[in-house]
A and B are shown apart, each in its own frame.
Chain A
Amino acid sequence: AQSVTQLDSHVSVSEGTPVLLRCNYSSSYSPSLFWYVQHPNKGLQLLLKYTSAATLVKGINGFEAEFKKSETSFHLTKPSAHMSDAAEYFCVVSPNTGGFKTIFGAGTRLFVKA
């Protein structure tokens, strides 16, 4: 069985300050992990993915995430928030072997204040 927990439903930061969106996962198998972003009234877009290569993964728009197996975490970070980063962010887990479900977390809404 697998699951994903996003620890914050809402995060608010000021423009130019760092962003941290937290994600913990549980998986019976070695997982692939993803972060997707959803802007209002837009489709889901891939930010980055981890697939058992480098544990620090760089994505689009300056985002990156670090896979920590010992902590079962895959937190998303960005050094400096921009107004255009305001959106809903989803952490996603997909099994590498066995099972077919690709599971989404409940989402974290990021607010960026001017």
Chain B
Amino acid sequence: DTGVSQDPRHKITKRGQNVTFRCDPISEHNRLYWYRQTLGQGPEFLTYFQNEAQLEKSRLLSDRFSAERPKGSFSTLEIQRTEQGDSAMYLCASREGGYTGELFFGEGSRLTVL
């Protein structure tokens, strides 16, 4: 297993289009996180899954954003009707076991909305 992988690495889209990002966590990790990072800022928490259950969502996650983790394996993050303010790096991380464990991050998916 080579770690957390995210796809696509880069996405350029026009305002109003829908985009979907995929995250494949480390296989034995049951906890999965999505973060958003804009230039010069720290990663902002978006949502958290334990297995297939989405247990917490940030207020940052408007109703245009939806995340799923079917079967508790890979996860998708969809953004509908994209806006220029959605331009950011979307990071996925996974963690084994409890809250004290290391978060393993993917390389991220960079979204540019024109």
Contact = CB atoms under 8 A, between A and B. Distances in A.
Interface of A: 6, 32, 34, 36, 43-44, 46, 49, 51, 90, 92, 94-96, 99-107
Contacts of A32: 99-100
Given A43-B107, A101-B48, A102-B33, A107 B102 contact: no
Contact-size category for B: 20 to 34
28 contacts: A32-B99, A43-B105, A43-B108, A44-B43, A44-B91, A44-B93, A44-B105, A46-B102, A51-B100, A92-B103, A94-B99, A94-B100, A95-B99, A96-B98, A96-B99, A100-B48, A100-B50, A100-B56, A100-B99, A102-B33, A103-B45, A104-B42, A104-B44, A104-B45, A106-B41, A106-B42, A107-B40, A107-B41
A103 B48 CA distance: 12
A101 B102 contact: no
A34 B103 CA distance: 10
Contacts of A94: 99-100
B35 interface: yes
Contacts of B56: 99-101
Interface in B4-61: 33, 35, 40-45, 48, 50, 55-56, 58
Interface of chain A, main secondary structure:
strand
A90 B48 contact: no
Contacts of A44: 43, 91, 93, 103, 105
Contacts of A36: 103
Top 4 closest pairs, chain A to chain B, by CB: A104-B42, A51-B100, A100-B56, A44-B105
